[in-house]
Chain A
């Protein structure tokens, strides 16, 4: 009830006030509640779209086949060459590829939501003009695909431990480190997804393959499937600037502490720069935080620029395609 005794807009629902005029309080949002509702609705929608195209068994197989195949590709590559250190390296690769499926899902989720909604369902403009924050809605949609990727990653890791010789000791897991890098890392993944989504707003329908291409490129410099020490020094520096590199290192350090480091190692730039073989946990977290913050800030800026450009050029409701 307002001060003058009239029912507030919340109490009235969608009805106009008794005097028939415009009620400005209707334009006020409800802050965090609205944000949460937008996010939750978008996440639920995203999950439905991800999962309801087939039966649960086929969906499970589909979710696991991709990351498992990627892992097997590297396992065979290692087997092909053979050698003394292959067992250790296999473990390194299994962890990296499993985590990479999460990366790919996360960054593809947002970009594909843009393309889906604009080209296939023609809903992008309606989502955009709704009171929900556009980026919150996108992130919600992307989270569903991230969840599918997480499921694939966990199963791949499990297969790695059970069947591919990855050594795992639950007693040695650093849960605090794992929690910290997981949270910061997911934010960074989503931020990279936001950047790709911003790009896809500008591009045409064929940019469906762009997230995979971007993930493939990041693959090179993030120490996922080979230690950064293999790369030339400038490329290693690029790797240091990528939050994914520190995230993967942090997860490896937390869950498989005895394994090979992606950043350190005898011939790495890190070792030659710091004099230490591998970074410690604190350094990993701080570096992840710093690079993640930079990427997140950049993502916010890039997205806003892209959004403004899209509005200027009427890209939000166009259909492209060739």
Chain B
């Protein structure tokens, strides 16, 4: 990363976004503060309607904030739109952009023109990106005939045409099957590895995706950031101890023998897996104050004559973090938001188009417990 980059990649200060609607205005962002360093892979994690897409639209200069300021590498999203548009690109999940009548190659070339690539340069770049994204066989296929996964790879290639300094990914794996989603994530990782100084802002409601890819994550709900940190830091908020599950051939001395070991908070034998089948082995759940105490436990088990058949660390998920912060899970959050959005739109004037869910609407009144944690 060049030392010349002094400004943060993203600098968001108290950004609010309110949509005028009947009967009540919709507060999509309720005062967001965020700073992303250059070269970071930053995730916005939250349920549908949390405000993630709204924030991305503000940062990609498609939407004005109602108040507050936001800067991309020091350029203001309200006044310096041209400069920002030269150094960023964006890809959204479920994107159907482009023209079905063109081939993949032609479509990418066309977008290349919008970013000022010379014709010859553009064709060369397009061919390289087609190869890099694994679309060689679809090169001359019409866009209208692509599968969802192929389409998204093409969108990803489009997003890389101008070699952006900051890449906005708005739920890029939405609607993709497992293989296609993995493929897109691998592309993201490859790109990041190839150009380490570049920044990515990823919005997602797939926790595993955020956990796998992001250096830091902000958990968002109802237009507010609830917590920011690395995945490990966020999980540590929920569970400071380490929990291990061990499958042993036997444990004659019982779990109490392990409980007395230094660094062991507690140890207990699991009754069964809940499937009603009789166990041949003994499953012990051990809670340690620190991972380092595991060595002592393994040694003790050896002395007690127990053989370890498997050992697995049990970690909290980011959903556990979300539940801890908000008091409900992602699925409940989606359901609650769906009800609130339906109530907010029932009285709306039908002659105006309704804002799509991607715009990040959320109910104005916060529901459930919210903690000011950031």
Contact = CB atoms under 8 A, between A and B. Distances in A.
Interface of A: 52-55, 204, 314, 318-322
B351 A322 contact: no
Given A52-B350, A321-B101, 8 more contacts: A54-B351, A204-B101, A319-B96, A319-B144, A320-B100, A320-B101, A320-B144, A321-B100
B138 to A, nearest CB: 15
B99 interface: yes
Closest 5 CB pairs of A and B: A318-B144, A320-B100, A322-B99, A319-B100, A52-B350
Interface in B344-366: 350-351
Interface residues of B, number: 9
B82 to A, nearest CB: 27
Contacts of A320: 99-101, 144
A319 B99 CA distance: 8
Interface in B56-106: 96, 99-102
Contacts of B144: 318-320
B101 A322 contact: yes
Nearest to A314: B145
13 contacts: A52-B351, A53-B351, A54-B351, A204-B100, A204-B101, A318-B145, A319-B100, A320-B99, A320-B100, A320-B144, A321-B100, A321-B101, A322-B102
B100 A318 contact: yes
Q: Is the interface of A mostly helix, strand, loop or mixed?
A: loop
Nearest to B96: A319
A271 B350 CA distance: 56
Nearest to B144: A318
Contacts of A53: 351
A204 B99 CA distance: 10
A70 B100 CA distance: 36
A321 B145 contact: no
A204 B102 CA distance: 12
Contacts of A54: 351
A244 to B, nearest CB: 33
Contacts of A318: 100, 144-145
Nearest to A321: B99
Contacts of B145: 314, 318
Interface in B195-254: none
Interface string B172-198: 000000000000000000000000000
A52 B351 CA distance: 6
B99 to A, nearest CB: 5
A321 B102 CA distance: 9
A55 B350 CA distance: 11
Interface string B125-153: 00000000000000000001100000000
B100 to A, nearest CB: 5
A321 B96 CA distance: 11
B353 to A, nearest CB: 10
A319 B101 CA distance: 9
A121 to B, nearest CB: 12
B346 to A, nearest CB: 15
A26 B351 CA distance: 38
A204 B100 CA distance: 9
B47 to A, nearest CB: 24
Contacts of A55: 351
A321 B100 CA distance: 6
Interface centre among B99, B102, B350 (most CB of A within 10 A): B99
A55 B351 CA distance: 8
A204 B143 CA distance: 13
A119 B144 CA distance: 12
Contacts of A52: 350-351
A321 B97 CA distance: 10
A314 B141 CA distance: 14
B94 to A, nearest CB: 11
Nearest to A52: B350
Interface centre among A52, A55, A319 (most CB of B within 10 A): A319
Contacts of B351: 52-55
Nearest to B100: A320
A53 B237 CA distance: 51
